[in-house]
Amino acid sequence: MTAPAPLTLSETQQAALIRKLTALADDEIILAQRGGEWTGHAPILEEDIALANIAQDELGHAGLYLELRRALDGSNPDQLAFTRDAAGYTCARLVELPRGDWAFTMLRQYLYDAYEAVWLDAARQSSYVPLAEVAAKAFREERFHLQHTALWVERLALGTPESLRRTQDALNALWPHLGQLFQPVAGEAELTGDGVLPDLNAVRVRWDGLVVPHLTDRCGLTLPPAGAEQPGREQHTEHLEPLLAEMQRVARDHPDAELW
Amino acid sequence: MTQSPSQSPTHDTQWPRWEVFKQDSEKRPYQAVGSVHAGDPDHALLTARNVFVRRPAAVSLWAVREADILSATPEELAAHPAVLDTPGEADTYHVGVKKTHKRSMTFVDLVGTVQASGPGEALRQAQAAHADALAWLVFPEAAIARTDDDPGTVESWFAPAKDKTYKQQQYYGVIGKHVGQLKREGRMPRRVNEEPHVADHKVYDHPHDQPARTLEANAADVEVNP
């Protein structure tokens, strides 16, 4: 069997792929930062460690995406993570929202993990081999995250009246922001057509099939009505700026640092 | 693990404690690696994986509720021989023995199973078969919560750890440049509390001090594995 000819991307396709990889990485970086905020504060030590693991994995995925980007345009992942301001970030608003309580944290992570697992599963078939390889690697971790967070959502929803109330409140607050995860970036359609990127509509259908029965049938939660059409990734909540200020502080204070 | 079975558990607001047994490969015994607090068996396994298998190799995990484990040292049995009469269900019991005081990531190996009428009887058999052990523990087969062994679980629970190697401390000490390069350029930082230096030379040597250590000597402390 001969190896397939390497896929060559046009300049427009390459720019769109860079936009997509950056958006994927930005979601991971910001969610990892929110997860990291629990370090030392989680309800029990074991969950503190578990959430730190998950956050580290997400940050690792961001690193994988940004390395793919580096291969395309030579950009430096650390520079991208630590020197862009809110206007330069392209994360979804879902991951910017403050960490909230444990129910909010676990539910957001669950909804995101399910999206990421489904997206990565599809991306394993990407015609762009470097992406397919990254997706295969990250998918394994995401499956495990998903088991952990699905378990928590279920335990909280079926726990006490208080934990149910908090979980339902979290769902009400998060649901309107979910549509954004399934919005394509500019130029994404062409890449989907060429099999480089997963079809987001198909990802959404699979995600619905996974998440909705879990939330409703299994956990007894009530789905809020679908939100209105969302603005794109260039619009952020007021929460992103303070998050970046904290996350980037050391890097900005010591721009020439080589040792720490 | 060292709690004597004769002690009644004190009031505890934490979730139940589960002992975690990890198998590193198909050919290795399950070994006690520590414990987690968790509300139920699935939760115990998930937290056990996070706490004990992020990096070390594993192919399978068991979690056993503390209340289902009977353990004793020779000293405890000498003081409380009635422990060997602890009643319970007849079952296949797993036997664990602690063989050494050496500090290690694991401290009890599961060495096999016995058929017993209850935990006390299982402990008696464990004691007879492994007379020189520092401690024994037994628990019934029915008490084990175990990870699935389907390929999907192995892939997502245990395979990623193989790509996550431990890194030397020095790895985290440097951003962008290797420590050796910085050393050669004379830019290695010294210890935080060290007295002032000009280049390699300490400025204020106290008369009772040892001769000032050279930059290279300081750097050598850091560079474990260049």
Question: A163 — contact with chain B (CB < 8 Å)?
Answer: no
CA distance A175 to A94: 9
pLDDT (tens digit per residue) in A152-192 = 999 999 999 999 999 999 999 999 999 999 999 999 999 99
Question: B184 — contact with chain A (CB < 8 Å)?
Answer: no
The token duo for B191 is: 């210890």
The interface predicted TM-score of the complex, written ipTM, equals 0.88
Q: Quick check: A53 and B43 CB within 8 A?
A: no
Q: Quick check: B174 and A258 CB within 8 A?
A: yes
pLDDT (tens digit per residue) in A42-86 = 999 999 999 999 999 999 999 999 999 999 999 999 999 999 999
Interface mutation target, options B156, B167, B170, chain A, most CBs of A under 10 Å: B156
Taking the CA of residue B118 and the nearest CA in chain A, the distance in Å comes to 32
CA distance B51 to A115: 25
> Which residue of chain B comes nearest to A43, CA vs CA?
B14
Q: What is the pLDDT of residue B125?
A: 97
CA distance B219 to B167: 18
Q: What is the pLDDT of residue B212?
A: 41
Residues ≥6 apart with Cβ < 8 Å to B66: B3, B16, B17, B18, B19, B35
Question: A137 — contact with chain B (CB < 8 Å)?
Answer: yes
pLDDT mean over B75-95: 96
Taking the CA of residue B51 and the nearest CA in chain A, the distance in Å comes to 6
Question: B160 — contact with chain A (CB < 8 Å)?
Answer: yes
> What's the pTM?
0.82
CB hemisphere CA count around B164 (13 angstroms):
18
Residues of A in contact with B182 (CB under 8 A): 258-259
Exposed/middle/buried for residue A229 (C-beta within 10 Å: 0-12, 13-18, 19+): exposed
